[in-house]
Amino acid sequence: EDQVTQSPEALRLQEGESSSLNCSYTVSGLRGLFWYRQDPGKGPEFLFTLYSAGEEKEKERLKATLTKKESFLHITAPKPEDSATYLCAVQASDYKLSFGAGTTVTVRA
Amino acid sequence: EAQVTQNPRYLITVTGKKLTVTCSQNMNHEYMSWYRQDPGLGLRQIYYSMNVEVTDKGDVPEGYKVSRKEKRNFPLILESPSPNQTSLYFCASSTSGRAPEQFFGPGTRLTVL
């Protein structure tokens, strides 16, 4: 069974304090690993797709990396507007999608 | 505007009263899916559809039905809702390429009394 585990569950940061979120996964035939951002009461918003180990993608203060067993989302010099829940998901060879429970990030000014 | 719409956005119902949550997308996407989101459990996939008349079970399909008669619509049917189906539901769509971005709807908050 495909499994996605995110850690930590919650992360409180001071503005400008860089940190990393972890997503470890087991999947049968990885088609891709996704990172999404979700604000309270809203649907998830796409950030990145990573396809193979060694791949990296960046967007503003966010950088996602992928190994064969885990992915990291690095937040560099975060701002209060980066406060959200960050979701990791994997798509298996049968096109089924599995999400982790998410990491809730709070950035204080 | 490219979007996924869901109706209703909020619904309170009683045990056993059949209901349908509609989902529609205007992006000509092949792939559509339904998720439920519960505190501490994250998003769990209920059903997904690769194209018209093609549907498959996700991780938590029990108690739900879906149909895909048209490309743009993917309704979620609860034949006999129970309190454990109280949840926040999201519909999503995407193209059928390799691990494409999913576009999510705004969510439907369902309460079953």
Asked if B95 is an interface residue toward chain A (Cβ–Cβ < 8 A), one would say no
Give residue-wise pLDDT tens across range B33-48: 999 999 888 899 999 9
Whether the per-residue pLDDT at B83 is higher than 90: the answer is yes
Q: What is the mean pLDDT of residues A70-97?
A: 94
Q: Could you say which residues from 26 to 85 on chain B have a Cβ atom under 8 Å away from some Cβ of chain A?
A: 31, 33, 35, 40-45, 48, 50, 56, 58-59
| Helix, strand, or coil (residue A90) | strand
Give residue-wise pLDDT tens across range B41-71: 889 999 999 999 999 999 999 999 999 999 9
B99 CB neighbours in chain A (<8 A) are 31-34, 49, 51, 91
What is the DSSP code (8-state) at residue B53? Answer: T
Asked if A106 is an interface residue toward chain B (Cβ–Cβ < 8 A), one would say no
* Beta strand spans in chain B (E): 4-7, 10-13, 19-25, 31-38, 42-51, 54-57, 65-66, 76-78, 87-94, 103-104, 108-112
Q: What is the mean pLDDT of residues B92-100?
A: 86
Q: What is the mean pLDDT of residues A27-39?
A: 93
Q: Which amino acid is at B55?
A: T
